[in-house]
């Protein structure tokens, strides 16, 4: 039997209406003997219907998701939906407050800690609550990511693969309903500890995103994300589609495993040779790493290992050896 979560809340998940409160995780650092880490949560419920769990702030330097969900919390009335929304706009609260990918409390990447541990460090305890308490309530899960501080990425909706053909069909339909300019099939090299991989294993209709770039807030990405979230909720029957909703053609690509990633061959400053959205060839140079403190040393090239669409590239110039500097997607057909 799974261990109970230490997190407590005054939210009544079965009550109609809008509730805005916190999940409270007991936290006892040097400065506070019996304190809690408050994690924002809202539940908006109206009668019967699907339950959709939505999270932003999985990584704390990805801002579009928290802004989109925060706006929904402030503006959405329960009468506008049919079913239940559970919103976690800053699920990894310590990282969101710090503006960092990883938690400043324990140094962990929330998106590599699922299914979590109720007796582990803070990040694992939050993941456990999402996995063991919230996932069983939900029918669908939206995980709103952006490029964060290290990536400049095409605005995309993400498909988490599953061997369950029936669930895979539901996921693809929901992701295409999001109607992002690009749809990317991405399994994170088979990584099982992500939120979306865990949600799929739990049988949830799962939609991921990659919005924005470079640790900044993108106006265009906010528009794509806000429209996309409403599109998915309409697709699931939770709310009506926007009056001006129109369907565009999303380009569907898949990251072809390890060959889709380009890594920095040395520490230095990376100069990219292609803009994101470019079509690139296998074996071509993705860019070079310069050694600014040793100008006589020739730059070291990094090469594409697959032809396809450049969906993401490194945002800061400085790199360490092994940093991801480019990601390639291979066409799967049109949405």
CB 147 within 8 A of CB 214: yes
**pLDDT by residue (tens digit) across 262-298?**
999 999 999 999 999 999 999 999 999 999 999 999 9
Evaluate whether residue 213 is within a structural domain.
Answer: yes
Evaluate whether residue 143 is within a structural domain.
Answer: yes
Tokens in use for 125?
């305890």
Give the pLDDT of residue 241.
Answer: 85
Whether residue 166 has pLDDT greater than 60:
yes
Percent of the chain with pLDDT over 70: 98
Do both 169 and 213 map to the same domain?
yes
Tokens 């039997």 — which residue? 1
Q: Is the pTM here over 0.85, yes or no? A: yes
**pLDDT by residue (tens digit) across 67-118?**
999 999 999 999 999 999 999 999 999 999 999 999 999 999 999 999 999 9
Do both 156 and 262 map to the same domain?
no
Tokens 């053909």 — which residue? 165
Evaluate whether residue 118 is within a structural domain.
Answer: yes
Whether residue 334 has pLDDT greater than 50:
no
Evaluate whether residue 87 is within a structural domain.
Answer: yes
Evaluate whether residue 96 is within a structural domain.
Answer: yes
Residue ranges making up the domain that contains 304: 257-334
Q: Quickly count: other Cβ atoms within 10 Å of residue 103's Cβ.
A: 24
CATH of the domain at 208: 3.40.630.10
Residue ending a domain, among 226, 249, 272, is: 249
44 vs 78: CA distance, rounded Å: 6
Do both 221 and 302 map to the same domain?
no
How many domains, in total, are found in the chain? 2
321 vs 98: CA distance, rounded Å: 25
Do both 214 and 325 map to the same domain?
no
In a 3-state reduction of DSSP, which class is residue 231? helix
Evaluate whether residue 122 is within a structural domain.
Answer: yes
Whether residue 1 has pLDDT greater than 50:
no
Do both 186 and 272 map to the same domain?
no
- Say which residues have a Cβ less than 8 Å from residue 218's Cβ, sequence separation at least 6: 64, 146, 155, 211, 212
88 vs 146: CA distance, rounded Å: 16
55 vs 275: CA distance, rounded Å: 30
């Amino acid at each position: 039997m799974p261990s109970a979560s230490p997190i407590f809340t005054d939210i009544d998940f079965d009550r109609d209406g809008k509730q805005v409160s916190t999940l409270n995780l007991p936290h006892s650092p040097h400065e506070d003997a019996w304190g809690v880490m408050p994690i924002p949560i809202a539940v908006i419920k109206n009668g019967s219907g699907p339950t959709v769990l939505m999270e932003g702030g999985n990584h704390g330097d990805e801002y579009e998701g928290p802004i989109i969900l925060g706006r929904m919390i402030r503006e959405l009335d329960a009468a506008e939906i049919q079913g239940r929304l559970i919103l976690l706009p800053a699920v990894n609260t310590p990282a969101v407050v710090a503006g960092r990918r990883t938690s400043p409390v324990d140094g962990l990447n929330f998106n590599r800690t699922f299914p979590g541990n109720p007796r582990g460090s803070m990040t694992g305890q939050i993941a456990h609550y999402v996995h063991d308490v919230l996932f069983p309530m939900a029918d669908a899960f939206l995980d709103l990511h952006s490029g964060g501080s290290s990536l400049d990425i095409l605005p995309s909706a993400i498909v988490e693969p599953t061997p369950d053909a029936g669930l895979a069909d539901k996921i693809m339909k929901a992701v295409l309903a999001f109607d992002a300019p690009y749809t990317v099939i991405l399994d994170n090299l088979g990584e099982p500890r992500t939120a979306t991989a865990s949600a799929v294993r739990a049988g949830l209709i799962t939609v991921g995103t990659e919005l924005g770039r470079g640790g900044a807030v993108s106006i265009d990405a906010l528009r794509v994300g806000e429209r996309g979230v409403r599109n998915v909720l309409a697709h699931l029957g939770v709310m009506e589609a926007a009056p001006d909703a129109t369907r565009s053609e999303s380009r569907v690509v898949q990251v072809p495993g390890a060959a889709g990633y380009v890594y920095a061959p040395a520490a230095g400053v990376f100069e990219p040779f292609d803009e994101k959205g470019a079509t690139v060839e296998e074996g071509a140079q993705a860019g070079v790493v310069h050694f600014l403190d040793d100008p006589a040393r020739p730059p070291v090239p990094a090469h594409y290992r697959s032809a396809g669409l450049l969906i993401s590239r490194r945002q800061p110039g400085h790199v360490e050896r092994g940093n991801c500097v480019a990601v390639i997607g291979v066409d799967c057909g049109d949405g």
